[in-house]
Structure 1
């Protein structure tokens, strides 16, 4: 069976003191699940690896193993290397600073009214992707009051991180 390069993005890991998960543990967990070449990027729950499993099986295996490790559910969003490269290529705010633009990764397509239902909008811009919501924070994220209800089950990564993960996945 052919192997696929995947990127797993964990929700709420090593952010603000919650969900501590050393990246060495995440790599070991992935290897223990039979995923090969596990490589983590920064301490916020990003891991690139190869597997013969389908995306849904990868997600289920990781979520089960992480729940056993953490003692509570840990959300996981999974993309193939090609999908991550497509997210980067489709960035509607490519001319903006990559550290002020995020892709919020979702399991399914965002609802058509996701941008309209956002609140606290100041100078942010929102665009919908395939299974992502793109947000450009004109003044940066720190002072933003933006709330996007459709993004609650997702996890955001800035475009610098997306670019690195896409590059790693294509080199894997």
Structure 2
């Protein structure tokens, strides 16, 4: 059976869209999700399921959250292989390994859709304090002053790239890959 990772966008942030992960785990298990685990309260779910249709899984989780908690929450689902590929394509990996970039300042904004190449080129032509690269459906960003101070946040990339996105830091990506390999 395939192991999946679901990333929920915008829950339990500043008191908005509160969902207890323990409650969500129970609801998903009742739907037939297997080995459901969560990591921290920001909407990271690792699970197995009998079907391998990622879009159907996204829709199923989204519908369950609406039905049970009353929130319309974007949901992105990946296989372990997909998330591992995102991690390995990080253009900053060598700079991280050398210590040139602090791990706590590395972020992954994962996009629901591949952005239009013309929009990416236009965005990349602008100068910002942060360093970032857009590869396929991921914005890899080194937030020089930390994520809390950047203007290049999740909302910025959603607006500019015209797609749903969710952002995770390097520590969370590492933990999700570690936890998903245990399944």
* TM-score of the pair, normalised by structure 2: 0.85
Which region of structure 1 is more displaced relative to structure 2, 117-126 or 157-166? 117-126
What's the offset of the Cα at 1:74?
Answer: 0.9
Alignment of 1:120-131 (within 5 A): 122-131=128-137
**Alignment CA distance shift 1:139-1:37 (3 Å):** same
**Does the Cα contact within 8 Å between 1:27 and 1:39 map onto a contact in 2?**
yes
Please report how far the alpha carbon of residue 19 of structure 1 lies from its aligned counterpart in structure 2 after TM superposition. Answer: 0.7
For residue 20 of structure 1, the aligned residue among 3, 11, 18 is 18
Aligned to 2:170: 159
What is the distance in 2 between the residues matched to 1:162 and 1:126? Answer: 17
The alpha-carbon distance between structure 1 residues 91 and 68, as it changes in their structure 2 partners (threshold 3 A), is same
Q: Give the drift of 1:136.
A: 1.3
Pairs within 5 Å for 1:133-144: 133-144=139-150
The alpha-carbon deviation at position 119 of structure 1 amounts to 10
Match of 1:60 in 2: 59
Residues 18-167 of structure 1: pairs in structure 2 closer than 5 A: 18-53=16-51, 54-94=53-93, 95=96, 96-112=101-117, 113-114=119-120, 116-117=122-123, 122-146=128-152, 147-148=156-157, 149-150=160-161, 153-167=164-178
Q: Which moved more, 1:92-101 or 1:119-128?
A: 119-128
Q: Say if 1:82 and 1:170, in contact at 8 Å, map to a contact too.
A: no
The CA distance in 2 between the partners of 1:115 and 1:45, in whole Å, is 31
Deviations 1:123-171 (A, max 9, x none): 2112112321111101111221223222761110011101111121122
Higher mean C-alpha deviation, range 15-24 or range 85-94: 85-94
For these two proteins, the number of residue pairs brought into alignment is: 170
CA distance in 2, matches of 1:72, 1:139: 32
* Worse-matched range after superposition: 160-169 or 89-98: 89-98
Q: CA RMSD, aligned part only?
A: 1.9
Report the structure, 1 or 2, having the larger helix content: 2
Q: Runs of 5+ in structure 1 lacking a partner?
A: none
